[in-house]
Amino acid sequence: MPGKKPPCIPSGTSSENINAPSQAVDTSNTTALFKGLSEENLQSLLSNSTVRSIESGREIVQHGDEVKHLYVIIEGSVKTLRASAEGEEATIRMLTAGDTFMDAVIFMGGTSPIRATAIKQSKLLMIPAHIIRQQVLRDGQLGENLLKIVSGHYKNAMQQIDSIVTKTPVERLGYYFLKLHMEQDPNSMEVELPFQKSMIANHLGMKPETFSRALKKLKSIGIDVDHERISLGDAYSLCHYCDPDTAFSCPKHGTPDCKPGGCN
């Protein structure tokens, strides 16, 4: 396997390190991490943190690194993935502003089982791992916030497993679109793909070619994708791909037209 060699360059490269200005971080909508923290505890986190800019494509954390920070994305996007020695990748999460990562890893013990890569020019808030670990013992609210965050990741991972094992590529794609639709704007008939198609394909456990063919099949039921714009035929066209779990948080749930995949 020549050619595609896993990058072995030490990270921490051409990136400016600024000392954490607490005003640089919007603590209100940025994250569930800071929710409900006392002013004192919040400051204690922020005053120890730094902000760092990183350019697209750079590795933030490598497989096997000792993880020294919890990261909050201030702007840009990042993906987390597992990569095999053969160069094959399995994308775990794709993140945008407000998301955190390495939040779970710092409680795992041992080195990082995942890699994190910037997929856009990004600005990251870095909170030292030892500060987090220390403060969790004192601040129950922080613990609860982290538990909610990590549990959420776990839930997504379980859905990802489920998708890959039990669903066809077309169904996986439909399900992914549905979730995008719901988190972006459940009333709009347009959805936007927030990431590169090949990256989404990998996240859904399929090859770009298969992704492309799946798009074609969705077109035949009224879901048209032009570049990164998805337009839905009618408001219910994605409902077929719904699962009971997602239905629960859907405004259309209960409507006569709501027939999630399994109920028929």
Residue 22 binds: one of a second copy, DNA, none (C-beta under 5 to 8 A by kind):
none
**Binds a second copy (CB under 8 A): choice among 150, 193, 250, 258:** 150
Nearest to 108 by CA among 50, 57, 65: 65
Instruction: Find the binding residues for a second copy in span 225-254 (CB under 8 A).
Output: 243-245, 248-249
Toward a second copy, which CB reaches closer, 24 or 108? 108
The phi, psi pair for 213, rounded to 5°, reads -70, -35
**Binds DNA (CB under 7 A): choice among 210, 243, 258, 261:** 210
Note whether 216 binds DNA by CB under 7 A. Answer: yes
Joined tokens for residue 35: 């929710």
Note whether 116 binds a second copy by CB under 8 A. Answer: no
Which residue is it, tokens 């050619």?
3
Joined tokens for residue 55: 């350019």
Least separation in angstroms between residue 207's CB and DNA is 4
CB neighbours of 27 closer than 8 A, spacing ≥ 6? 34, 42, 46
Stretch that binds a second copy, among 13-21, 109-117, 177-185, 227-235 (CB under 8 A): 109-117
Dihedral of alpha carbons 241, 242, 245, 249, sign: positive
Stretch that binds DNA, among 8-16, 59-67, 211-219, 229-237 (CB under 7 A): 211-219
Instruction: Find the binding residues for a second copy in span 79-108 (CB under 8 A).
Output: 82, 84-86, 88-90, 92, 104-105, 107-108
Helix (H) / strand (E) element for 50: namely strand 50-54
CB neighbours of 240 closer than 8 A, spacing ≥ 6? 174, 221, 259, 260, 261
Stretch that binds a second copy, among 52-60, 139-147, 189-197, 212-220 (CB under 8 A): 139-147
**Binds a second copy (CB under 8 A): choice among 8, 16, 39, 165:** 165
CB neighbours of 124 closer than 8 A, spacing ≥ 6? 51, 52, 53, 54, 60, 71, 72, 73, 74, 76, 78
Instruction: Find the binding residues for DNA in span 161-200 (CB under 7 A).
Output: 168-169, 196-198
Least separation in angstroms between residue 5's CB and DNA is 16
Answer whether 25's CB lies under 8 Å from 124's CB: no
Enumerate binding residues for a second copy (CB under 8 A).
Answer: 63-64, 82, 84-86, 88-90, 92, 104-105, 107-111, 113-114, 133, 136-144, 146-148, 150-155, 157-162, 164-167, 205, 243-245, 248-249, 260-263
